[in-house]
Structure 1
């Protein structure tokens, strides 16, 4: 013991003499710079040790003892210099949890995986139309020459009002000219008659309006069908002359059931006409109907915050479906392949950010800020913040995140206070 004291005294005396000798050789600024560098190194490497109460973390003492509030024994703590930590470590300090606590609180984990994800939207609605679907004969209402045959997809699927065959017809050309003529004369009676004939032939209100605006009649007639179906037979070919009433082909209507649902803006932005959709009915468990979205109302034209979505479905059963039956529908809107995924239950959504608690070895846990992408209620896409192979907490993560935030706040508050308290006691 005496040797240690003597050695310390000798070291102090030697440092004092060396300082006295070297001081005249250095300018005051150089001396201050050296002192600042030494203090910075000491401050960076040092860890502040203090004693605190587990139940009252604002209690700090330099020496061991009992808590003045509850009487519990104080425990030793160390606070690292925050300047050496990353931004995430400052906001979300790592915590260690005993294995017995992990079991008692039911803390469960899951792997971060790389897989495909589909954005699905679940809707609740009602059946509003049930039709009997028999094969339909496509009959040409005018005579002419076949100039175009629309070759659809491999299934010969044609959507509602999609052009199937186009004819070059002098008959349709003359009808349009007659209509323009009575329009110029403002002959209301004949305008109504000719307009009705054009409507029967399949001309829409917008097409008739465009004809009046451009005043350019056409000799092409487009044969369409008023519903979605499969073309099972085609009886004509290009440049073939056909007469009025000739059977062009046979079409099998694809959808016999229609249903509608009300959606809000958060769901509406994902919906588009033509998207795949499936439907189930509670009265018939285990069965589903497949179809597609036929119509999505414009949110700007709605008097409320909800808009109507209409979908058509194939009738794949002999069940007695009735109008007004309640349905559950799932719309498949968007998909991404080979992306990082975590269970939806693992993401803590605070409103301003998304946090996931990462499980490390040895009972260590640390919350991490993440940027999320697609969410399908089962999995969430992780754009940044995690890596493949990590483990995340899916049960009990709120307790771990709260504990980490508490420790971060205590560290920010107590670090400068502890230095003051320790300095005042010396």
Structure 2
């Protein structure tokens, strides 16, 4: 007789297998909990010091060796040592604001002989930028030459006006020595760098206070790093930094944090830290166009956090956060365990400081602590009910 062909849908088989797996997992979990409750009994040795001692005794649970092995109880000894942390962050280079100079005349006139004629042009301190023809400056020179022979006060007033317009003393002396006023006044670079944000052309009329151009020393740059708020406790002024550039892998540049900005970037939840990089060992790349630190570049930054004071250190996974606070399970020996409330501090690389609750040297539970904590809470609650009766 021919056997009937099975028309069972393969997807139905998969669903049944998944159901059996879930059922098996639930049964295993229930069995483990049942074994724990059966093997964990509150310590019945009540001390005679009052209700508080009775509650502490009620919170102690006793676990048989076989059960400890089945539920995977593991322990470790609390160490006392400083906690350190290395922070990885992303930064970007910006121009050093302290290395920027703005060229802005204090008197009106017309620009002539413009030599700083394009953005990016490199100049040195003292290089000629442009000449300024100013009728006001020219008339003041003539007033000085006329007044110096018969009115010292009027002559000194003219000299003062020229100085207030930043006319160099050497030019004032030259006018007085030669007796010939200068038609145009030369302007020179107050510092070396590159011309940026040029807003003037040959022959343009400018007024007092106009921003004609900036001179920026791009060999001096800042590295701005975003440090997340949870890492701020680890850094401060003087924190050492190692910097890697994407275009030059394998080479590190050293620096340190010299300023931390007070405002927080709300979308990023991060504060900005400013890093000044050392120019040592750069050789020919130490400045100008050849510097490896160009504004706008990105970099990977490793900050060596300052060590936290020595304190008891525990694995972060050993801390039980049960909604009422933080608890660590103490191994009292002889199969006895007791939860103790603690206050945690800084965390790093899987370890956490304990500020209160431990002194160091205690043996604590690092796995299956949640089951033990639950059983201890149950025992303490039942003891409280008994005392209430």
**TM-score range normalised by the length of the shorter chain:** 0.3 to 0.5
For normalisation by structure 2, the TM-score amounts to 0.46
For normalisation by structure 1, the TM-score amounts to: 0.43
